[in-house]
Structure 1
Amino acid sequence: MRRIEESELILNPDGSVFHLHIKPGELADNIILVGDPGRVDTVAGFFDHIDFGAENREFVFRTGSYKGTGFTVLSTGIGTDNIDIVLNELDALVNVDFKTRTVKAEKKSLNLVRIGTSGSLQKSLPVDSWLLSKKAIGFDGLLNFYEGVETISDVEFEKALTQYTGWSPRLTRPYVVEANQELVNRLAGTNLHDGITISAPGFYGPQGRVIRLVLENPDINEKLSAFHFQGDQITNYEMECSAIYGLSKLLGHKAATVCAIIANRKAGTYSKDYKHGIKALIQYVLERLSK
Protein backbone atom coordinates (compact mmCIF):
# COMPACT_ATOMS: atom_id res chain seq x y z
CA MET A 1 0.00 0.00 0.00
CA ARG A 2 1.39 3.38 -1.04
CA ARG A 3 2.61 5.64 1.76
CA ILE A 4 1.80 9.33 1.26
CA GLU A 5 4.99 11.30 1.84
CA GLU A 6 5.24 14.18 4.32
CA SER A 7 5.81 16.63 1.46
CA GLU A 8 2.53 15.56 -0.25
CA LEU A 9 0.19 15.59 2.75
CA ILE A 10 1.53 18.10 5.25
CA LEU A 11 0.39 17.84 8.86
CA ASN A 12 0.84 20.38 11.64
CA PRO A 13 2.59 19.48 14.91
CA ASP A 14 -0.80 19.12 16.65
CA GLY A 15 -1.92 16.51 14.09
CA SER A 16 -4.21 18.83 12.14
CA VAL A 17 -4.16 19.04 8.36
CA PHE A 18 -1.89 21.80 7.05
CA HIS A 19 -4.17 24.59 5.77
CA LEU A 20 -7.51 23.90 7.44
CA HIS A 21 -6.14 23.18 10.93
CA ILE A 22 -8.77 20.48 11.43
CA LYS A 23 -7.88 17.21 13.16
CA PRO A 24 -9.37 13.80 12.39
CA GLY A 25 -12.51 13.40 14.48
CA GLU A 26 -13.32 17.14 14.42
CA LEU A 27 -15.25 16.99 11.16
CA ALA A 28 -19.00 16.34 10.82
CA ASP A 29 -20.43 14.41 7.88
CA ASN A 30 -22.50 17.45 6.83
CA ILE A 31 -20.32 20.37 5.78
CA ILE A 32 -21.46 23.90 4.96
CA LEU A 33 -18.94 25.77 2.81
CA VAL A 34 -18.95 29.57 2.77
CA GLY A 35 -16.52 31.89 1.04
CA ASP A 36 -16.39 34.63 3.67
CA PRO A 37 -14.62 33.76 6.96
CA GLY A 38 -16.93 36.26 8.67
CA ARG A 39 -19.93 34.16 7.65
CA VAL A 40 -18.74 31.10 9.60
CA ASP A 41 -19.96 32.40 12.93
CA THR A 42 -23.23 33.49 11.31
CA VAL A 43 -23.84 29.85 10.37
CA ALA A 44 -22.51 28.53 13.68
CA GLY A 45 -24.83 30.95 15.46
CA PHE A 46 -27.70 28.62 14.51
CA PHE A 47 -26.00 25.59 16.09
CA ASP A 48 -27.24 24.11 19.36
CA HIS A 49 -23.61 23.93 20.54
CA ILE A 50 -20.07 24.17 19.14
CA ASP A 51 -17.56 21.41 19.86
CA PHE A 52 -14.51 22.29 17.77
CA GLY A 53 -13.09 25.28 15.94
CA ALA A 54 -9.92 26.86 14.58
CA GLU A 55 -8.74 29.65 12.29
CA ASN A 56 -5.86 29.85 9.81
CA ARG A 57 -5.65 32.51 7.11
CA GLU A 58 -8.99 32.52 5.25
CA PHE A 59 -9.87 29.06 6.58
CA VAL A 60 -12.14 29.18 9.64
CA PHE A 61 -14.16 26.23 10.90
CA ARG A 62 -16.69 25.39 13.58
CA THR A 63 -18.16 21.95 14.26
CA GLY A 64 -21.33 21.48 16.27
CA SER A 65 -24.92 20.37 15.81
CA TYR A 66 -28.25 21.77 14.63
CA LYS A 67 -31.37 20.07 15.99
CA GLY A 68 -29.32 16.99 16.78
CA THR A 69 -27.59 16.70 13.38
CA GLY A 70 -23.83 17.23 13.24
CA PHE A 71 -22.50 20.04 11.03
CA THR A 72 -19.17 21.61 10.21
CA VAL A 73 -19.12 25.09 8.70
CA LEU A 74 -15.89 26.03 6.92
CA SER A 75 -14.81 29.13 5.02
CA THR A 76 -12.94 28.62 1.76
CA GLY A 77 -12.00 32.14 0.75
CA ILE A 78 -12.47 33.12 -2.88
CA GLY A 79 -11.73 30.99 -5.92
CA THR A 80 -11.38 27.43 -7.15
CA ASP A 81 -7.67 27.38 -6.27
CA ASN A 82 -8.74 27.47 -2.62
CA ILE A 83 -11.32 24.75 -3.28
CA ASP A 84 -8.49 22.49 -4.44
CA ILE A 85 -6.98 22.87 -0.96
CA VAL A 86 -10.28 22.51 0.88
CA LEU A 87 -11.61 19.41 -0.91
CA ASN A 88 -8.34 17.50 -0.85
CA GLU A 89 -7.76 18.21 2.84
CA LEU A 90 -11.35 17.41 3.82
CA ASP A 91 -11.10 14.12 1.98
CA ALA A 92 -7.78 13.32 3.63
CA LEU A 93 -9.31 13.91 7.07
CA VAL A 94 -11.83 11.11 6.56
CA ASN A 95 -10.18 8.81 4.04
CA VAL A 96 -6.48 8.80 4.98
CA ASP A 97 -4.99 7.23 8.11
CA PHE A 98 -2.69 9.99 9.37
CA LYS A 99 -0.63 7.57 11.46
CA THR A 100 0.27 5.18 8.64
CA ARG A 101 -0.12 7.79 5.87
CA THR A 102 -2.10 5.34 3.77
CA VAL A 103 -5.54 5.54 2.17
CA LYS A 104 -8.20 3.74 4.19
CA ALA A 105 -9.77 0.63 2.69
CA GLU A 106 -13.28 1.83 3.57
CA LYS A 107 -14.08 5.28 2.20
CA LYS A 108 -16.41 7.85 3.76
CA SER A 109 -18.61 10.15 1.68
CA LEU A 110 -19.28 13.68 2.95
CA ASN A 111 -22.26 15.95 2.24
CA LEU A 112 -20.92 19.32 1.04
CA VAL A 113 -23.22 22.29 0.51
CA ARG A 114 -21.87 25.66 -0.51
CA ILE A 115 -23.92 28.69 0.56
CA GLY A 116 -22.78 31.73 -1.38
CA THR A 117 -23.61 34.90 -3.25
CA SER A 118 -23.93 35.22 -7.00
CA GLY A 119 -24.72 37.44 -9.97
CA SER A 120 -27.60 36.61 -12.31
CA LEU A 121 -27.22 36.42 -16.09
CA GLN A 122 -30.99 36.26 -16.71
CA LYS A 123 -33.51 39.06 -16.13
CA SER A 124 -35.97 36.43 -14.94
CA LEU A 125 -33.70 35.61 -11.98
CA PRO A 126 -34.15 38.68 -9.76
CA VAL A 127 -32.00 40.16 -7.05
CA ASP A 128 -32.65 38.62 -3.58
CA SER A 129 -33.88 35.32 -5.04
CA TRP A 130 -32.21 31.97 -4.24
CA LEU A 131 -30.73 29.59 -6.77
CA LEU A 132 -29.84 25.90 -6.56
CA SER A 133 -27.08 25.01 -9.04
CA LYS A 134 -27.97 21.75 -10.77
CA LYS A 135 -24.88 22.02 -12.97
CA ALA A 136 -21.65 24.00 -12.80
CA ILE A 137 -19.43 25.21 -15.64
CA GLY A 138 -15.78 25.64 -14.71
CA PHE A 139 -13.96 28.42 -16.56
CA ASP A 140 -11.05 27.94 -14.14
CA GLY A 141 -9.39 24.84 -15.59
CA LEU A 142 -8.65 23.27 -12.19
CA LEU A 143 -10.31 19.93 -12.88
CA ASN A 144 -8.26 19.44 -16.03
CA PHE A 145 -5.21 18.71 -13.84
CA TYR A 146 -6.84 15.49 -12.60
CA GLU A 147 -7.35 12.19 -14.37
CA GLY A 148 -10.93 11.09 -14.97
CA VAL A 149 -12.50 14.43 -15.88
CA GLU A 150 -14.08 12.98 -19.01
CA THR A 151 -15.91 10.36 -16.94
CA ILE A 152 -17.73 12.90 -14.75
CA SER A 153 -18.28 15.84 -17.09
CA ASP A 154 -20.88 16.66 -19.74
CA VAL A 155 -18.62 16.68 -22.81
CA GLU A 156 -21.43 17.44 -25.29
CA PHE A 157 -22.46 20.50 -23.28
CA GLU A 158 -18.83 21.66 -23.24
CA LYS A 159 -18.50 21.30 -27.01
CA ALA A 160 -21.74 23.17 -27.70
CA LEU A 161 -20.78 26.01 -25.35
CA THR A 162 -17.29 26.54 -26.74
CA GLN A 163 -18.59 26.51 -30.32
CA TYR A 164 -21.45 28.94 -29.59
CA THR A 165 -19.31 31.45 -27.72
CA GLY A 166 -16.31 31.30 -30.06
CA TRP A 167 -14.14 30.19 -27.15
CA SER A 168 -10.56 31.42 -27.53
CA PRO A 169 -7.84 28.72 -27.75
CA ARG A 170 -5.82 30.87 -25.33
CA LEU A 171 -8.36 30.16 -22.58
CA THR A 172 -8.57 26.98 -20.51
CA ARG A 173 -11.13 24.43 -21.67
CA PRO A 174 -14.43 24.72 -19.75
CA TYR A 175 -15.78 21.67 -17.94
CA VAL A 176 -19.38 20.93 -16.93
CA VAL A 177 -20.27 18.86 -13.85
CA GLU A 178 -23.64 18.04 -12.24
CA ALA A 179 -24.57 18.48 -8.59
CA ASN A 180 -25.34 15.38 -6.54
CA GLN A 181 -28.99 14.55 -7.24
CA GLU A 182 -29.70 13.29 -3.72
CA LEU A 183 -28.64 16.63 -2.22
CA VAL A 184 -30.50 18.56 -4.92
CA ASN A 185 -33.69 16.68 -4.00
CA ARG A 186 -33.20 17.42 -0.29
CA LEU A 187 -32.59 21.13 -0.89
CA ALA A 188 -35.17 21.80 -3.62
CA GLY A 189 -38.21 23.88 -2.73
CA THR A 190 -40.74 26.26 -4.22
CA ASN A 191 -38.70 29.23 -2.99
CA LEU A 192 -35.59 28.14 -4.94
CA HIS A 193 -34.92 28.62 -8.62
CA ASP A 194 -32.65 26.08 -10.27
CA GLY A 195 -30.10 26.68 -12.98
CA ILE A 196 -26.61 26.30 -14.40
CA THR A 197 -23.83 28.19 -12.70
CA ILE A 198 -20.51 29.44 -14.11
CA SER A 199 -17.51 29.43 -11.80
CA ALA A 200 -15.17 32.14 -13.07
CA PRO A 201 -11.44 32.42 -12.24
CA GLY A 202 -11.80 36.12 -11.47
CA PHE A 203 -14.33 38.82 -10.61
CA TYR A 204 -13.70 41.38 -13.34
CA GLY A 205 -12.57 40.27 -16.82
CA PRO A 206 -13.54 36.60 -16.39
CA GLN A 207 -17.08 37.72 -15.53
CA GLY A 208 -17.30 40.25 -18.37
CA ARG A 209 -16.73 43.37 -16.24
CA VAL A 210 -14.92 46.32 -17.80
CA ILE A 211 -13.10 48.92 -15.72
CA ARG A 212 -10.10 49.96 -17.84
CA LEU A 213 -8.98 46.79 -19.59
CA VAL A 214 -10.68 45.79 -22.85
CA LEU A 215 -12.06 42.24 -22.91
CA GLU A 216 -10.83 39.64 -25.41
CA ASN A 217 -14.48 38.64 -26.01
CA PRO A 218 -16.53 41.78 -25.23
CA ASP A 219 -19.90 40.12 -25.96
CA ILE A 220 -19.28 37.10 -23.75
CA ASN A 221 -22.12 37.78 -21.29
CA GLU A 222 -24.63 38.31 -24.09
CA LYS A 223 -23.56 35.01 -25.62
CA LEU A 224 -23.72 33.17 -22.30
CA SER A 225 -27.18 34.56 -21.49
CA ALA A 226 -28.53 33.53 -24.89
CA PHE A 227 -26.98 30.03 -24.91
CA HIS A 228 -29.33 27.03 -24.65
CA PHE A 229 -28.45 23.36 -24.43
CA GLN A 230 -31.13 20.66 -24.25
CA GLY A 231 -33.59 23.16 -22.77
CA ASP A 232 -31.18 24.53 -20.15
CA GLN A 233 -29.90 28.10 -19.78
CA ILE A 234 -26.88 29.49 -17.97
CA THR A 235 -28.25 31.45 -15.02
CA ASN A 236 -25.45 32.94 -12.93
CA TYR A 237 -21.81 33.59 -12.11
CA GLU A 238 -19.87 32.77 -8.95
CA MET A 239 -16.34 31.52 -8.23
CA GLU A 240 -16.22 28.14 -6.46
CA CYS A 241 -19.04 25.78 -7.45
CA SER A 242 -17.43 23.95 -10.38
CA ALA A 243 -14.39 22.78 -8.41
CA ILE A 244 -16.59 21.65 -5.52
CA TYR A 245 -18.73 19.56 -7.87
CA GLY A 246 -15.83 18.16 -9.87
CA LEU A 247 -13.52 17.23 -7.01
CA SER A 248 -16.43 15.84 -4.98
CA LYS A 249 -17.40 13.51 -7.81
CA LEU A 250 -13.81 12.37 -8.33
CA LEU A 251 -13.34 11.76 -4.59
CA GLY A 252 -16.74 10.17 -3.96
CA HIS A 253 -18.45 12.95 -2.01
CA LYS A 254 -21.88 14.58 -2.51
CA ALA A 255 -22.06 18.28 -3.35
CA ALA A 256 -24.60 21.00 -4.07
CA THR A 257 -24.57 24.80 -4.12
CA VAL A 258 -27.22 27.33 -3.21
CA CYS A 259 -26.64 31.04 -3.76
CA ALA A 260 -28.41 34.25 -2.92
CA ILE A 261 -28.61 36.39 -6.05
CA ILE A 262 -27.22 39.77 -5.01
CA ALA A 263 -26.74 41.32 -8.47
CA ASN A 264 -28.55 41.07 -11.79
CA ARG A 265 -26.04 41.67 -14.59
CA LYS A 266 -28.75 41.97 -17.26
CA ALA A 267 -30.83 44.49 -15.32
CA GLY A 268 -27.86 46.30 -13.73
CA THR A 269 -29.38 45.97 -10.24
CA TYR A 270 -27.82 45.14 -6.86
CA SER A 271 -29.35 43.99 -3.57
CA LYS A 272 -29.92 46.67 -0.95
CA ASP A 273 -29.65 44.20 1.98
CA TYR A 274 -28.43 40.77 0.89
CA LYS A 275 -27.15 39.79 4.35
CA HIS A 276 -30.70 39.37 5.63
CA GLY A 277 -31.45 36.99 2.76
CA ILE A 278 -28.24 35.03 3.40
CA LYS A 279 -29.23 34.38 7.01
CA ALA A 280 -32.63 33.08 5.91
CA LEU A 281 -30.95 30.88 3.29
CA ILE A 282 -28.54 29.46 5.90
CA GLN A 283 -31.41 28.45 8.15
CA TYR A 284 -33.28 26.95 5.18
CA VAL A 285 -30.30 24.75 4.27
CA LEU A 286 -29.73 23.63 7.87
CA GLU A 287 -33.38 22.68 8.17
CA ARG A 288 -33.30 20.68 4.92
CA LEU A 289 -30.13 18.79 5.81
CA SER A 290 -31.18 18.03 9.38
CA LYS A 291 -34.43 16.25 8.37
Structure 2
Amino acid sequence: MTGDSEDPNDDVQYHIEVGEGDVADAVLLPGNPERIEKITQFWDSADEMASHREYRTVTGDYEGTPISVTSTGIGSPSAAIAVEELARVGADTFLRVGSCGAIQPDMEVGDLVISTGGVRQEGTSDAYVREDYPAVADYEVVSALVAAAERLDYDYHTGVTMSADSFYAGQGRPGFEGFEAAGSDELVENLKDANVKNIEMEASAIMTLANIYGLRAGAVCSVFANRETGEFLTEGENRAAETASLAVKLLAQMDEKKAEADVDRWHPGLSLE
Protein backbone atom coordinates (compact mmCIF):
# COMPACT_ATOMS: atom_id res chain seq x y z
CA MET A 1 0.00 0.00 0.00
CA THR A 2 1.15 3.54 -0.74
CA GLY A 3 0.20 6.66 1.10
CA ASP A 4 -0.53 10.04 -0.41
CA SER A 5 2.96 10.48 -1.82
CA GLU A 6 1.74 10.51 -5.43
CA ASP A 7 -0.08 13.81 -4.87
CA PRO A 8 2.33 16.64 -4.06
CA ASN A 9 -0.39 19.24 -3.52
CA ASP A 10 -2.37 19.26 -0.29
CA ASP A 11 -4.68 22.11 -1.33
CA VAL A 12 -6.17 21.02 -4.65
CA GLN A 13 -6.75 17.73 -6.42
CA TYR A 14 -3.94 16.61 -8.69
CA HIS A 15 -5.79 16.36 -12.00
CA ILE A 16 -8.89 18.53 -11.76
CA GLU A 17 -7.21 21.25 -9.62
CA VAL A 18 -10.19 22.02 -7.38
CA GLY A 19 -10.23 22.11 -3.60
CA GLU A 20 -12.67 22.10 -0.73
CA GLY A 21 -15.50 24.58 -1.32
CA ASP A 22 -14.93 24.83 -5.07
CA VAL A 23 -17.75 22.51 -6.12
CA ALA A 24 -21.38 21.96 -5.19
CA ASP A 25 -22.75 18.67 -3.86
CA ALA A 26 -24.07 17.81 -7.34
CA VAL A 27 -21.79 17.88 -10.37
CA LEU A 28 -22.71 17.46 -14.04
CA LEU A 29 -20.14 15.49 -16.05
CA PRO A 30 -19.98 16.20 -19.79
CA GLY A 31 -17.09 14.82 -21.78
CA ASN A 32 -16.30 17.79 -24.00
CA PRO A 33 -15.03 20.96 -22.23
CA GLU A 34 -16.75 22.98 -24.97
CA ARG A 35 -20.09 21.61 -23.78
CA ILE A 36 -19.83 23.55 -20.52
CA GLU A 37 -21.18 26.79 -22.02
CA LYS A 38 -24.13 24.85 -23.40
CA ILE A 39 -24.87 23.71 -19.85
CA THR A 40 -24.25 26.93 -17.95
CA GLN A 41 -26.41 29.00 -20.33
CA PHE A 42 -29.36 27.70 -18.30
CA TRP A 43 -27.87 28.73 -14.96
CA ASP A 44 -28.33 32.02 -13.12
CA SER A 45 -24.60 32.31 -12.35
CA ALA A 46 -21.43 30.48 -13.34
CA ASP A 47 -17.81 30.97 -12.26
CA GLU A 48 -14.86 28.97 -13.56
CA MET A 49 -13.00 27.30 -10.69
CA ALA A 50 -10.28 25.39 -12.57
CA SER A 51 -9.10 24.30 -16.01
CA HIS A 52 -6.41 21.64 -16.39
CA ARG A 53 -5.99 19.12 -19.19
CA GLU A 54 -9.46 17.88 -20.19
CA TYR A 55 -10.90 18.87 -16.82
CA ARG A 56 -12.69 22.20 -16.69
CA THR A 57 -14.83 23.00 -13.65
CA VAL A 58 -17.49 25.70 -13.29
CA THR A 59 -19.66 26.29 -10.22
CA GLY A 60 -22.79 28.38 -10.06
CA ASP A 61 -26.47 28.53 -9.27
CA TYR A 62 -29.53 27.10 -11.01
CA GLU A 63 -32.84 28.52 -9.76
CA GLY A 64 -31.50 28.85 -6.24
CA THR A 65 -29.68 25.51 -6.19
CA PRO A 66 -25.87 25.29 -6.08
CA ILE A 67 -24.54 23.30 -9.03
CA SER A 68 -21.21 22.44 -10.65
CA VAL A 69 -20.00 20.99 -13.92
CA THR A 70 -16.69 19.26 -14.66
CA SER A 71 -15.71 18.07 -18.13
CA THR A 72 -14.10 14.64 -18.15
CA GLY A 73 -12.72 14.16 -21.65
CA ILE A 74 -13.44 10.99 -23.61
CA GLY A 75 -13.71 7.62 -21.94
CA SER A 76 -14.07 5.97 -18.55
CA PRO A 77 -10.46 6.28 -17.29
CA SER A 78 -10.58 10.07 -17.22
CA ALA A 79 -14.21 10.09 -16.01
CA ALA A 80 -13.23 7.90 -13.06
CA ILE A 81 -10.45 10.32 -12.13
CA ALA A 82 -13.00 13.14 -12.08
CA VAL A 83 -15.38 11.18 -9.83
CA GLU A 84 -12.56 10.20 -7.49
CA GLU A 85 -11.24 13.73 -7.08
CA LEU A 86 -14.62 15.47 -6.97
CA ALA A 87 -15.72 13.08 -4.22
CA ARG A 88 -12.58 13.94 -2.28
CA VAL A 89 -13.62 17.62 -2.18
CA GLY A 90 -17.20 16.93 -1.14
CA ALA A 91 -19.33 16.13 -4.20
CA ASP A 92 -21.83 13.33 -3.63
CA THR A 93 -24.05 13.35 -6.74
CA PHE A 94 -22.88 12.88 -10.33
CA LEU A 95 -24.92 13.26 -13.52
CA ARG A 96 -23.24 12.39 -16.78
CA VAL A 97 -24.46 14.72 -19.54
CA GLY A 98 -23.38 13.43 -22.91
CA SER A 99 -24.16 12.15 -26.37
CA CYS A 100 -24.74 8.61 -27.53
CA GLY A 101 -25.68 6.28 -30.31
CA ALA A 102 -29.15 4.73 -30.08
CA ILE A 103 -29.63 1.11 -31.12
CA GLN A 104 -33.40 0.75 -30.97
CA PRO A 105 -35.40 1.73 -34.09
CA ASP A 106 -38.01 3.82 -32.23
CA MET A 107 -35.41 6.29 -30.92
CA GLU A 108 -35.06 9.55 -32.82
CA VAL A 109 -31.97 11.72 -33.18
CA GLY A 110 -32.35 14.47 -30.58
CA ASP A 111 -34.20 12.26 -28.09
CA LEU A 112 -32.82 11.85 -24.58
CA VAL A 113 -31.76 8.56 -23.01
CA ILE A 114 -31.89 8.34 -19.21
CA SER A 115 -29.78 5.40 -18.06
CA THR A 116 -31.18 3.02 -15.45
CA GLY A 117 -28.05 0.87 -15.55
CA GLY A 118 -25.03 0.02 -17.63
CA VAL A 119 -23.34 -2.84 -19.46
CA ARG A 120 -19.73 -2.60 -18.29
CA GLN A 121 -17.84 -2.96 -21.56
CA GLU A 122 -15.31 -0.39 -20.36
CA GLY A 123 -12.31 -1.71 -18.48
CA THR A 124 -12.00 1.02 -15.87
CA SER A 125 -14.60 -0.33 -13.47
CA ASP A 126 -12.94 -3.76 -13.68
CA ALA A 127 -10.02 -2.24 -11.80
CA TYR A 128 -12.38 -1.54 -8.88
CA VAL A 129 -14.68 -4.53 -8.58
CA ARG A 130 -15.45 -8.01 -9.93
CA GLU A 131 -16.89 -8.17 -13.44
CA ASP A 132 -20.35 -9.38 -12.37
CA TYR A 133 -20.93 -6.35 -10.12
CA PRO A 134 -23.76 -4.32 -11.68
CA ALA A 135 -23.55 -0.72 -12.86
CA VAL A 136 -26.82 0.74 -11.56
CA ALA A 137 -28.06 4.32 -11.62
CA ASP A 138 -29.32 5.75 -8.35
CA TYR A 139 -33.11 5.70 -8.45
CA GLU A 140 -33.38 9.21 -7.01
CA VAL A 141 -31.24 10.49 -9.90
CA VAL A 142 -33.30 8.54 -12.44
CA SER A 143 -36.53 9.88 -10.91
CA ALA A 144 -35.23 13.46 -10.99
CA LEU A 145 -34.10 13.17 -14.61
CA VAL A 146 -37.44 11.68 -15.68
CA ALA A 147 -39.35 14.39 -13.80
CA ALA A 148 -37.19 17.08 -15.40
CA ALA A 149 -37.68 15.70 -18.91
CA GLU A 150 -41.43 15.51 -18.30
CA ARG A 151 -41.62 19.10 -17.02
CA LEU A 152 -39.61 20.33 -20.00
CA ASP A 153 -41.69 18.21 -22.40
CA TYR A 154 -38.64 16.55 -23.99
CA ASP A 155 -38.87 13.15 -25.65
CA TYR A 156 -36.90 10.61 -23.64
CA HIS A 157 -36.28 6.90 -23.17
CA THR A 158 -35.17 4.99 -20.08
CA GLY A 159 -33.18 1.78 -19.99
CA VAL A 160 -29.81 0.09 -19.99
CA THR A 161 -26.77 1.76 -21.56
CA MET A 162 -23.65 0.04 -22.85
CA SER A 163 -20.39 1.85 -22.11
CA ALA A 164 -17.44 1.01 -24.36
CA ASP A 165 -13.73 1.81 -24.22
CA SER A 166 -13.46 2.31 -27.98
CA PHE A 167 -15.40 4.58 -30.30
CA TYR A 168 -14.58 2.41 -33.29
CA ALA A 169 -13.90 -1.32 -32.77
CA GLY A 170 -15.52 -1.40 -29.34
CA GLN A 171 -18.78 -0.10 -30.74
CA GLY A 172 -18.90 -2.37 -33.79
CA ARG A 173 -17.53 0.22 -36.19
CA PRO A 174 -14.75 -0.55 -38.69
CA GLY A 175 -11.30 0.61 -37.77
CA PHE A 176 -8.52 1.96 -39.95
CA GLU A 177 -8.55 0.49 -43.45
CA GLY A 178 -11.73 -1.42 -42.65
CA PHE A 179 -10.36 -3.46 -39.75
CA GLU A 180 -13.11 -5.38 -37.94
CA ALA A 181 -12.66 -6.65 -34.40
CA ALA A 182 -13.77 -10.18 -33.60
CA GLY A 183 -17.50 -10.22 -32.98
CA SER A 184 -18.00 -6.61 -34.04
CA ASP A 185 -20.48 -7.57 -36.76
CA GLU A 186 -22.79 -9.06 -34.10
CA LEU A 187 -22.22 -6.59 -31.26
CA VAL A 188 -24.94 -4.05 -31.95
CA GLU A 189 -27.49 -6.67 -32.92
CA ASN A 190 -26.88 -8.64 -29.72
CA LEU A 191 -27.26 -5.50 -27.60
CA LYS A 192 -30.39 -4.54 -29.48
CA ASP A 193 -31.90 -7.98 -28.88
CA ALA A 194 -31.19 -7.57 -25.16
CA ASN A 195 -33.13 -4.27 -25.18
CA VAL A 196 -30.08 -2.14 -24.51
CA LYS A 197 -30.99 1.40 -25.51
CA ASN A 198 -27.76 3.16 -26.36
CA ILE A 199 -23.96 3.12 -26.51
CA GLU A 200 -21.56 5.67 -25.05
CA MET A 201 -18.23 5.59 -23.17
CA GLU A 202 -18.48 6.75 -19.55
CA ALA A 203 -21.77 6.03 -17.79
CA SER A 204 -21.16 2.53 -16.44
CA ALA A 205 -17.86 3.48 -14.80
CA ILE A 206 -19.39 6.59 -13.20
CA MET A 207 -22.34 4.58 -11.86
CA THR A 208 -20.13 1.74 -10.62
CA LEU A 209 -17.79 4.02 -8.70
CA ALA A 210 -20.70 5.93 -7.20
CA ASN A 211 -22.29 2.71 -5.95
CA ILE A 212 -19.02 1.49 -4.47
CA TYR A 213 -18.56 4.76 -2.58
CA GLY A 214 -22.20 5.16 -1.51
CA LEU A 215 -22.76 8.18 -3.75
CA ARG A 216 -25.52 9.01 -6.27
CA ALA A 217 -25.03 8.87 -10.02
CA GLY A 218 -26.94 8.65 -13.26
CA ALA A 219 -26.74 9.73 -16.88
CA VAL A 220 -28.72 11.57 -19.52
CA CYS A 221 -27.47 11.54 -23.09
CA SER A 222 -28.77 13.08 -26.27
CA VAL A 223 -29.02 10.78 -29.27
CA PHE A 224 -26.62 11.92 -31.99
CA ALA A 225 -26.84 8.75 -34.08
CA ASN A 226 -29.23 5.87 -34.53
CA ARG A 227 -27.20 2.77 -35.39
CA GLU A 228 -30.33 1.00 -36.59
CA THR A 229 -31.50 3.65 -39.07
CA GLY A 230 -28.12 5.18 -39.97
CA GLU A 231 -29.23 8.72 -39.10
CA PHE A 232 -26.59 11.03 -37.59
CA LEU A 233 -26.95 14.62 -36.41
CA THR A 234 -25.50 16.59 -33.47
CA GLU A 235 -28.90 17.33 -31.98
CA GLY A 236 -30.27 17.57 -28.44
CA GLU A 237 -27.26 18.81 -26.46
CA ASN A 238 -29.22 21.71 -25.01
CA ARG A 239 -32.07 19.41 -23.98
CA ALA A 240 -29.72 17.13 -22.07
CA ALA A 241 -28.05 20.13 -20.44
CA GLU A 242 -31.30 21.71 -19.33
CA THR A 243 -32.76 18.40 -18.16
CA ALA A 244 -29.71 17.61 -16.02
CA SER A 245 -29.65 21.11 -14.52
CA LEU A 246 -33.31 20.93 -13.56
CA ALA A 247 -32.76 17.43 -12.17
CA VAL A 248 -30.16 18.84 -9.75
CA LYS A 249 -32.76 21.29 -8.45
CA LEU A 250 -35.27 18.45 -8.05
CA LEU A 251 -32.70 16.33 -6.22
CA ALA A 252 -32.15 19.20 -3.79
CA GLN A 253 -35.91 19.31 -3.23
CA MET A 254 -35.91 15.54 -2.66
CA ASP A 255 -33.19 15.98 -0.04
CA GLU A 256 -35.27 18.66 1.70
CA LYS A 257 -38.31 16.35 1.72
CA LYS A 258 -36.20 13.55 3.21
CA ALA A 259 -34.93 15.82 5.95
CA GLU A 260 -38.47 17.00 6.78
CA ALA A 261 -39.74 13.40 6.96
CA ASP A 262 -36.60 12.18 8.76
CA VAL A 263 -36.00 9.39 6.24
CA ASP A 264 -32.89 8.33 4.35
CA ARG A 265 -34.35 7.87 0.88
CA TRP A 266 -36.86 9.78 -1.20
CA HIS A 267 -39.96 7.91 -2.41
CA PRO A 268 -43.05 8.94 -4.41
CA GLY A 269 -45.01 9.45 -1.20
CA LEU A 270 -42.81 12.50 -0.59
CA SER A 271 -44.29 14.53 -3.43
CA LEU A 272 -42.28 17.31 -5.04
CA GLU A 273 -45.40 19.23 -6.06
With normalisation by structure 2, the TM-score equals: 0.83
Q: Secondary structure at the match of 2:248?
A: helix
Structure 2 gap ranges (5+): 251-273
Task: State yes or no: 1:180 paired with 2:138.
Answer: yes
Post-superposition Cα deviations, 1:39-71, rounded to whole Å, max 9, x if no partner, equal: 112222322223452110110010111111001
How far does residue 11 in structure 1 lie from its aligned partner after superposition?
Answer: 4.5
Q: Secondary structure at the match of 1:234?
A: coil
Aligned counterpart in structure 2 of residue 119 of structure 1, from 101, 104, 107: 101
Q: Secondary structure at the match of 2:69?
A: strand
- Once structures 1 and 2 are overlaid, which stretch shifts more, 81-90 or 66-75? 81-90
Aligned counterpart in structure 2 of residue 235 of structure 1, from 186, 189, 197: 197
Aligned counterpart in structure 2 of residue 192 of structure 1, from 144, 156, 159: 156
Task: State yes or no: 1:223 paired with 2:190.
Answer: yes
How far does residue 178 in structure 1 lie from its aligned partner after superposition?
Answer: 1.1
Distance 1:137 1:176, change over 3 A: farther
Q: Secondary structure at the match of 2:222?
A: strand
Aligned to 1:136: 118
How far does residue 284 in structure 1 lie from its aligned partner after superposition?
Answer: 2.3
Name the CA distance, whole Å, in 1 between partners of 2:202 and 2:121.
10
State, as a whole percentage, how many aligned pairs show the same letter. 30
Task: State yes or no: 1:281 paired with 2:248.
Answer: no
Counterparts of residues 157-168 of structure 1 (less than 5 Å) = none
Aligned counterpart in structure 1 of residue 9 of structure 2, from 12, 19, 30: 12
User: Is the CA contact 1:11–1:17 (under 8 Å) kept in the aligned structure 2?
Assistant: no
Q: Secondary structure at the match of 2:94?
A: strand
Aligned to 1:166: none
How far does residue 249 in structure 1 lie from its aligned partner after superposition?
Answer: 0.6
Task: State yes or no: 1:290 paired with 2:252.
Answer: no
How far does residue 6 in structure 1 lie from its aligned partner after superposition?
Answer: 2.1
Aligned counterpart in structure 2 of residue 33 of structure 1, from 29, 32, 39: 29
How far does residue 201 in structure 1 lie from its aligned partner after superposition?
Answer: 0.5
Aligned residues: 241
With normalisation by structure 1, the TM-score equals: 0.78
Distance 1:11 1:125, change over 3 A: farther
Name the CA distance, whole Å, in 2 between partners of 1:137 and 1:193.
17
Q: Secondary structure at the match of 1:261?
A: strand
